[in-house]
């Protein structure tokens, strides 16, 4: 049995795989360490890749063609991707019968935590009041905060109920909210289990005090969130995007935010990312930008590689795995 780290960016392996996990994998093959093969070393390290049965990676996993996989990785049985979306590389591997596992569930945890924190703070107007306090004084800040909806009995809208959206719904059960959800692929029994009420996008934007985007990232969702929806937002409502920037028609969002400056948009992602230097995102007080902070950072990255180590052990021992990706799943997952 041979194991290899396969990547374009060795620095990401260091960030995501702590030494104890590297040692655990090395123990599996009776070696002192696992070889790291960069994509630009494939030709020089054919012998290492030829015998590799299991490849571990993270951001920077090489996107190879089926012909390249057959040529360089003829023994490969499984890829363990210590990160989230596998859309950009997985299909050729799956077409060759190679299993692909993703740590999307691990990466979903900090995104969901971040989103829930933003939802709760939005109920108090907390993202706007600090600047109002400094520029206009305590009374003006208190007035703005007091006109927000608070966090009791209000409506929260979730757009998408994939891994992250579902986890957000689970976490929101700790609060006294009514949670509306738009997801055409969500079975009614799962919606009931999550405690969410199925709704249209129009209902969510019209009725909810906070709206959070968790749509799958695919061609069908590009530009899906537009002026017709943003214009339906009420006063003192908040739109959160920790999903993908391309799903938002940004000119439409800017227009709606100008029309009612009590609205707030919290954007952890944009398209492009970062925004162009002349984007009005930089000058509008009711649009708050953060640098793609919701996903795994620092020590949170280790959770992703731990999930993949557990998947490897389960596969090795013939037990059920949890995070295998199929071709069918690629049609709807982020």
- One-character DSSP codes across 271-327: SSSSPPTT-GGGT-TTEEE--S-SS--GGGHHHHHHHHHHHHHHHHTTPPPS-EE-T
Task: Examine the domain organization and report whether 85 and 191 are in the same domain.
Answer: no
Alpha-carbon distance of 43 to 54, in angstroms, equals 19
- Residue 115 placed within a domain: no
- Over residues 129-157, the pLDDT tens digits come to 999 999 999 999 999 999 999 999 999 99
- In the sheet that 78-81 helps form, which strands lie side by side, from edge to edge? 36-38, 3-7, 54-57, 78-81, 99-102, 324-325
- Residue 13 placed within a domain: yes
Task: Examine the domain organization and report whether 315 and 262 are in the same domain.
Answer: no
Task: Examine the domain organization and report whether 258 and 175 are in the same domain.
Answer: yes
Task: Examine the domain organization and report whether 167 and 209 are in the same domain.
Answer: yes
Which CATH number covers residue 285?
A: 3.40.50.720
Task: Examine the domain organization and report whether 62 and 190 are in the same domain.
Answer: no
Task: Examine the domain organization and report whether 60 and 134 are in the same domain.
Answer: no
- Residue 277 placed within a domain: yes
Alpha-carbon distance of 175 to 157, in angstroms, equals 14
Q: Do 210 and 237 form a contact (C-beta atoms < 8 A)?
A: yes
Q: What is the pLDDT of residue 77?
A: 98
Q: What is the pLDDT of residue 218?
A: 83
Task: Examine the domain organization and report whether 181 and 302 are in the same domain.
Answer: no
Q: Do 81 and 98 form a contact (C-beta atoms < 8 A)?
A: no
CA dihedral 195, 201, 203, 208 (to 10 degrees): 70
Q: Estimate the share of the chain in helix, then strand, then coil, as percent rounded to the nearest 5.
A: 45, 15, 40
- Residue 111 placed within a domain: no
Task: Examine the domain organization and report whether 256 and 323 are in the same domain.
Answer: no
b/e sequence 141-155, b meaning 16+ C-beta within 10 Å: beebbeebbebeebb
Alpha-carbon distance of 79 to 90, in angstroms, equals 9
Q: What is the pLDDT of residue 216?
A: 84
Q: What is the pLDDT of residue 222?
A: 94
Alpha-carbon distance of 120 to 151, in angstroms, equals 7
Q: What is the pLDDT of residue 85?
A: 86
Task: Examine the domain organization and report whether 310 and 265 are in the same domain.
Answer: no
Peptide bond into 302 cis (omega under 30): no
Task: Examine the domain organization and report whether 283 and 302 are in the same domain.
Answer: no
DSSP 3-state of 230:
helix
Residues of the chain with pLDDT under 70: 1, 334
The sign of the dihedral angle between the CA atoms of 244, 8, 110, 141 is: negative
User: What is the percentage of the chain residues whose pLDDT exceeds 90?
Assistant: 93
Alpha-carbon distance of 191 to 186, in angstroms, equals 7
Alpha-carbon distance of 173 to 153, in angstroms, equals 12
Domain, as residue range, for 201:
123-289
Task: Examine the domain organization and report whether 30 and 76 are in the same domain.
Answer: yes
CA dihedral 298, 303, 306, 308 (to 10 degrees): -100
For residue 203, what is the enclosing H or E element?
helix 201-207
Q: What is the pLDDT of residue 136?
A: 97
Q: What is the pLDDT of residue 163?
A: 87
- Residue 259 placed within a domain: yes
Of residues 226, 178, 176, 174, the one with CA closest to residue 205: 226
Number of domains in the chain: 2
Alpha-carbon distance of 272 to 163, in angstroms, equals 24
Task: Examine the domain organization and report whether 97 and 131 are in the same domain.
Answer: no
- Residue 206 placed within a domain: yes
- Residue 114 placed within a domain: no
- Residue 113 placed within a domain: no
């Amino acid at each position: 049995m041979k194991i290899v780290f396969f990547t374009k960016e060795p620095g990401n392996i260091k960030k995501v795989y702590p030494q104890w996990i590297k040692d655990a994998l090395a123990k599996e093959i009776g070696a002192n360490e696992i070889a790291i093969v960069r994509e630009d070393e494939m030709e020089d390290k054919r012998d290492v890749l030829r015998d590799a049965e299991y490849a571990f990676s993270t951001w920077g996993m090489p996107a190879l063609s089926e012909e390249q996989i057959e040529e360089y990785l003829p023994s490969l049985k499984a890829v363990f991707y210590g990160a989230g979306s596998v859309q950009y590389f997985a299909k050729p591997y799956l077409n060759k019968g190679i299993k692909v596992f993703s740590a999307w569930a691990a990466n979903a945890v900090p995104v969901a935590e971040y989103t829930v924190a933003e939802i709760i703070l939005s109920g108090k107007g907390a993202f706007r009041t600090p600047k109002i306090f400094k520029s206009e004084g305590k009374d003006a800040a208190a007035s703005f905060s007091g006109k927000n909806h608070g966090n009791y009995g209000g409506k929260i809208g979730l757009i998408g109920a994939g891994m992250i959206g579902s986890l957000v719904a689970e976490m929101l059960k700790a609060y006294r909210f009514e949670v509306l959800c738009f997801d055409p692929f969500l079975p009614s029994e799962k919606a009931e289990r999550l405690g969410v009420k199925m709704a249209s996008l129009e209902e969510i934007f019209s009725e909810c005090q906070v709206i959070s985007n968790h749509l799958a990232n695919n061609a069908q969702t590009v530009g899906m969130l537009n002026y017709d929806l943003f214009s339906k937002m009420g006063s003192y409502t908040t739109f959160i995007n920790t999903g993908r920037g391309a799903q938002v028609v940004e000119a439409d969002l800017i227009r709606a935010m100008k029309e009612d400056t009590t609205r707030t948009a919290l954007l952890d992602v944009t398209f492009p990312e970062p925004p162009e230097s002349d984007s009005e995102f930089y000058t509008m007080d009711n649009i708050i930008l953060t640098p793609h902070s919701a996903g795994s950072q620092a020590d949170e990255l280790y959770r992703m590689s731990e999930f993949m180590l557990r998947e490897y052990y389960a596969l090795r021992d013939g037990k059920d795995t949890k995070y295998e990706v199929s071709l069918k799943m690629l049609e709807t997952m982020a």
